[in-house]
Structure 1
Amino acid sequence: MVDYEKHDASSRVEVADTDHITEQESRRVSRKVDWNVLPVFCAVFALQFLDKTALTYTTAMTFFIDTGITQDQYSWMASIFLKATLLTAPPTGILLQRLPLSKFTAFSIIMWGLMVCLHVVCGRNFGAYMAVRFFLGVFESTLSPALMLFTQQYYKANEQGTRTGIWASFATWAGFLGAGVAYGLATAEADGGPGALTMPAWKAFFLFLGCSTIFVGFIFGIFIPDTPDKARFFTARDKVVSKIRTRDNKQELFAKEWKWYQTVDAITDPQVWAASLIAFLAAICTSGITTFYGIMVISLGFMPRTAILLSMVNCWVSPFTIIILYLGDRFRKRSLFAIIPTAVSIAGSCMVWQIPRTLSHRTPRLAGFFLSLSFAVSAITAMSLITTNVAGRTKTTTAQAMFLMCTCLGGFVGPKTWRDGPTYTRAWILIIACNAANICLLTFLYLYYRWQNNRRDRRGGAVPDNKGDLTDR
């Protein structure tokens, strides 16, 4: 469903149907976006992941001792973040449609950076921590749907999967950075001496992340334009080329009016539900493993600070994600290629589940644990499919809200399954089942897109050079 809106000529680049661009011009504009916009997306998405998972790293420091927080209260602090994101996803989508996209996103980034900094002044007040975590979830709920909209604005449909994979994969690179910083701070605090910290390591960690986020928020607001035709790094010709090269996406991105028929269309669209269910199942795996990562690795016989260092290995998922989505774009079969990392995750989970829990077998079990993390690629692929295949601004916004809400619901369920330690047999069986279900959903999406494309072709409405995973009703 595509919005056909008339736009003010003073704020939009008008393109005549007779305008023509060369492939060289299209590639030049794409490279400009890659160099000027994509790095900022990567940085802010990495910081978002670090900010919302910072609490996990502080458990290896003196956070519990200094704050008096109990394990039960810690669980509430983790869940209130998800509840806030779940509650604010629908209104956030409406605000993203009605307000200037870059300015609203930059404001949200700066505000959640401030929330991260405020962790250090909450003292031993559990209520204060809950309030800070709630508003952290409120402001962070803006980023993923905003970056999906920006990706639609700047890239052709057959480029969106790879670019989504690049900025989304920086969540794992963020884990690499966060683990290194957390290990350094924890070591400095534990060793003492001349290099000892002047404040608890967990406070220094929150301040480092919060100030970094605020800085990047200002960078985002200054350098990322609301729309491509306002980009200072584009020449006048580049703006025309950008408009033409994304025209075949059939995605209207500047409509401000909320159209309820498109909301209904999103809610009744099988591809939106399939992508959202993939996000739900992947989030069950992610939230459980993220919450119990330290306990899991320590149970293999590693020391707590060593467990922090080992989490740096998780970044192998990042290049794997980019490769899978690049191949999906290259052959226009994103949903099929996403089955590969999902199958790898099943294999890794089976290794952790079945290999004996002895000290001599801890290395292959640890290897299986790292392989199991590739389930994240299925959720990133599903997110990229919504970005590419859902047309109409209101429908896109609704689909993104459904995707985010399902992710939050999965985040609630995941940690509840890790209750049969130290083996966590039921948790690993559930992860295997979730991955198997996602393989079925990815296969369904591939077949559904083929059916939709064939039906559209028979009606004479095919979009040139946009087959494969590219469709909407």
Structure 2
Amino acid sequence: MGAPSAAVTEIEHAPPPDADADRDGTRSGTHQQAHKGGDEDEEGNRGGRDIAATFLAKNAAGQRIRVTAADSARVLRRIDVVILPLMLTVYFLQGLDKATLAYASVFGLLQDTRLAGDQFGWLGSIVYLAQLVMQPPLAWLLVRLPIAKFTSAMVLCWGISLACMAAAHNFGGLLATRFFLGVFEASVAPSFVAITQMWWRRREQTVRTSYWYAMNGITNMFGSLITYGLGHIESELRSYQIIFLFFGIITVAFSFVMLTFMPDSPIEAKFLSDDDKVIAVERLRMNQMGVISREWSNDHLKEALLDPKSWLWFALLFSISVPSGGISTFGPLIIETFGFDRFRTILFNIPFGFVQFVATIGGAFLAQKIKMKGPVIALLCLPPIAGCVMLMVLPRDASHRAPLLVGYYLISVYPGITPLIYSWASQNTAGDTKKKCTNAILLVGQSTGNVIGPLLYTQNEAPGYTRGLRSNLGLYIAIIVLVGITTAYLKMLNRDHATRRVALGKSAVIIDTSLDAESPQAAETENARNVEEGDAAIGAVYNDEMERPGDRAFENLTDMQNEDFVFVL
């Protein structure tokens, strides 16, 4: 196939896929590191190269394609229409499936299974303990296996696990089924972060991540309503058994829908024409993150483990997951301490979901507008801090029900923080194996926090739950401090990359167009930047023998190896 004529406003000759030489004809240390290891296959590819490089070499005639804003927008709409609904539905079901324990707790589960002490807290924690154990092998599996098929299989298995919870009649049975639920659900967040990276530009990723994560808010709204209806069904089965079976069967059914319609990468998407596949890949070039390689790299693993950024993401996600794990498990029980019956408790949990939804989407749009994640994360910590203080100081009596609910709803802003951390980490990481390993590290932090969170709340401390609320308050403050440290470190990395570019004879400044709005005006600006060079060094005049930003985007380089990579604050 030739270059897609409808998409091209200008065709630029890029260096051949295996070009390693710098301007004086010698290899730089960075380039040597990028190509170290891996034999060439029958197609001439080095092991570990991104599959996008081979695809473009075959289908774009070895040329770098400039895509018009109109064609990019058209392909983006097709991706949004096909991929996004599948992700939204799966994440909605995951949220429902995990929340069923909280819903079941107000429909007789605690009494029928004779749960006592911290046993209910362990039922909340065991899911995340299983997810913690699964993260290291998942990093390898997500590199090596077709991601859509693998994720569909995991959705099927967790639906079966949830349905089996209806047959559990004691703590041991519930603990076992909840463990397997966590094992299979462990793949969803890292899979979805990886899928988001391979389909959307960096500017688009933040909002798309918020869309699928915001399904937790939809879960709290509609899950509460559905549970309210299921709780009124007259049957030989207990209400919580009906809840487990209903949601489990729906999840099993949808796993086959996902298997049918979700492609493993843009290159394998049946809903895109060959020309549109080229556009879908080319529009990702300035992400500098690649698409997928399906080859494991130990060098990438080592870099992920030694990269301070990995552990900053770990600390951030741990700090928000401790409150998340506690509130998601004990939220309905906290509302019940305000003096409501079980049905009103479920209904009063609906506004929690609405606030969560608004905070998640609103925070993402604000971060997209200012092109920064850190300040928005810090801002979203302020309402939960106020909410924790209110729940700690207000007495639990009928006259304070309204302010207690306000405090609870202020806490519900916290879910908007997690997807911003997801996208902040993913947009600052490149290289297929490193991306998967970094995701594993931060999700180990999330799982650890979610294990600890429910254990800080015990039924013996009701109605105040002082220990849980006090620890949550401290962690929200810690997040603000961590945001400041992370932002400062990313600024330092950008300065270091600029110094490396100058040493290689390149421009010190790169305009990161992956964060720009898709419009004809933006396209014209990008064209101008690529063909002009002034004293400000904001662009460069390129010829066929010179590298330009994005020329090495599909060579499976990590963010540290690629001096053209721009870190997002």
Are 2:198 and 2:292, in contact at CA under 8 Å, matched by a contact in 1?
no
Which of 151, 155, 175 pairs up with 1:109?
155
Q: 1 CA distance for matches of 2:404 and 2:356?
A: 17
Q: Which amino acid aligns with 1:94?
A: W
For 1:137, the equivalent position in structure 2 comes to 182
Residues 1:212 and 2:250 are matched in the alignment: yes
Are 2:57 and 2:63, in contact at CA under 8 Å, matched by a contact in 1?
no
Residues 1:364 and 2:403 are matched in the alignment: yes
For 2:357, the equivalent position in structure 1 comes to 318
For 1:417, the equivalent position in structure 2 comes to 456
After superposition, the C-alpha distances for 1:255-298 in whole angstroms (9 at most, x for unaligned) are 22222221221122222211211111111101112222223112
Q: 2 CA distance for matches of 1:67 and 1:432?
A: 33
Are 1:157 and 1:470, in contact at CA under 8 Å, matched by a contact in 2?
no
Matches within 5 A, 1:372-391: 372-391=411-430
For 2:40, the equivalent position in structure 1 comes to none
Matches within 5 A, 1:146-225: 146-186=191-231, 188-189=232-233, 196-225=234-263
For 2:281, the equivalent position in structure 1 comes to 243
Q: 2 CA distance for matches of 1:205 and 1:295?
A: 18
Which of 476, 494, 507 pairs up with 1:453?
494
Superposition CA RMSD, Å: 2.4
Bigger Cα displacement from structure 2, 15-24 vs 368-377: 15-24
After superposition, the C-alpha distances for 1:57-96 in whole angstroms (9 at most, x for unaligned) are 1111132444455455434333322221111111011111
Q: 2 CA distance for matches of 1:207 and 1:232?
A: 34
Residues 1:286 and 2:331 are matched in the alignment: no
Q: Give, in angstroms, the shift of residue 12 of structure 1.
A: 8.9
When residues 320 and 114 of structure 1 are mapped into structure 2, their CA distance, relative to the original with a 3 A threshold, is same
Q: Which amino acid aligns with 1:471?
A: F
Are 1:77 and 1:129, in contact at CA under 8 Å, matched by a contact in 2?
yes
When residues 462 and 259 of structure 1 are mapped into structure 2, their CA distance, relative to the original with a 3 A threshold, is farther
Q: Give, in angstroms, the shift of residue 466 of structure 1.
A: 4.6
Matches within 5 A, 1:94-105: 94-105=140-151
Are 1:13 and 1:229, in contact at CA under 8 Å, matched by a contact in 2?
no
When residues 73 and 358 of structure 1 are mapped into structure 2, their CA distance, relative to the original with a 3 A threshold, is closer
For 1:5, the equivalent position in structure 2 comes to 49
Are 1:276 and 1:382, in contact at CA under 8 Å, matched by a contact in 2?
no
Are 1:453 and 1:467, in contact at CA under 8 Å, matched by a contact in 2?
no
Bigger Cα displacement from structure 2, 421-430 vs 273-282: 421-430
Are 2:50 and 2:292, in contact at CA under 8 Å, matched by a contact in 1?
no
Q: 1 CA distance for matches of 2:377 and 2:362?
A: 10
When residues 26 and 135 of structure 1 are mapped into structure 2, their CA distance, relative to the original with a 3 A threshold, is same
When residues 344 and 47 of structure 1 are mapped into structure 2, their CA distance, relative to the original with a 3 A threshold, is same
TM-score (normalizing by structure 1): 0.92
Bigger Cα displacement from structure 2, 420-429 vs 369-378: 420-429
Are 1:297 and 1:307, in contact at CA under 8 Å, matched by a contact in 2?
yes
When residues 35 and 127 of structure 1 are mapped into structure 2, their CA distance, relative to the original with a 3 A threshold, is same
Instruction: Report SS of the residue matched to 1:234.
Output: coil
Q: 1 CA distance for matches of 2:170 and 2:257?
A: 33
Are 2:377 and 2:483, in contact at CA under 8 Å, matched by a contact in 1?
yes
For 2:267, the equivalent position in structure 1 comes to 229
Residues 1:21 and 2:67 are matched in the alignment: yes
Are 2:50 and 2:291, in contact at CA under 8 Å, matched by a contact in 1?
no
For 2:478, the equivalent position in structure 1 comes to 437
For 2:16, the equivalent position in structure 1 comes to none
For 2:310, the equivalent position in structure 1 comes to 272
Instruction: Report SS of the residue matched to 2:65.
Output: coil
Aligned-residue sequence identity (percent) comes to 28
Are 1:172 and 1:314, in contact at CA under 8 Å, matched by a contact in 2?
yes
**Whose helix fraction is larger, Structure 1's or Structure 2's?**
1
Are 2:122 and 2:455, in contact at CA under 8 Å, matched by a contact in 1?
no
For 1:53, the equivalent position in structure 2 comes to 99
Q: Give, in angstroms, the shift of residue 226 of structure 1.
A: 0.4
Q: 2 CA distance for matches of 1:467 and 1:155?
A: 10
Instruction: Report SS of the residue matched to 1:161.
Output: helix
Bigger Cα displacement from structure 2, 20-29 vs 260-269: 260-269
For 1:192, the equivalent position in structure 2 comes to none
Are 1:157 and 1:466, in contact at CA under 8 Å, matched by a contact in 2?
no
Are 2:143 and 2:293, in contact at CA under 8 Å, matched by a contact in 1?
yes
Which 5+ residue runs of structure 1 have no aligned equivalent?
A: 190-195
Which 5+ residue runs of structure 2 have no aligned equivalent?
A: 1-32, 36-47, 502-506, 516-564
Bigger Cα displacement from structure 2, 420-429 vs 138-147: 420-429
Are 1:2 and 1:392, in contact at CA under 8 Å, matched by a contact in 2?
no
Are 2:356 and 2:414, in contact at CA under 8 Å, matched by a contact in 1?
no
When residues 51 and 342 of structure 1 are mapped into structure 2, their CA distance, relative to the original with a 3 A threshold, is same
Q: Give, in angstroms, the shift of residue 339 of structure 1.
A: 1.5
Q: How many residues align?
A: 464
TM-score (normalizing by structure 2): 0.77
When residues 257 and 380 of structure 1 are mapped into structure 2, their CA distance, relative to the original with a 3 A threshold, is same
Are 1:112 and 1:135, in contact at CA under 8 Å, matched by a contact in 2?
yes
Residues 1:336 and 2:375 are matched in the alignment: yes
After superposition, the C-alpha distances for 1:299-326 in whole angstroms (9 at most, x for unaligned) are 1121122111111111221122112112
Are 2:125 and 2:453, in contact at CA under 8 Å, matched by a contact in 1?
no
Q: Give, in angstroms, the shift of residue 400 of structure 1.
A: 0.8
Q: 2 CA distance for matches of 1:217 and 1:370?
A: 33
Q: 2 CA distance for matches of 1:358 and 1:389?
A: 48
Bigger Cα displacement from structure 2, 135-144 vs 282-291: 282-291
Instruction: Report SS of the residue matched to 2:296.
Output: coil
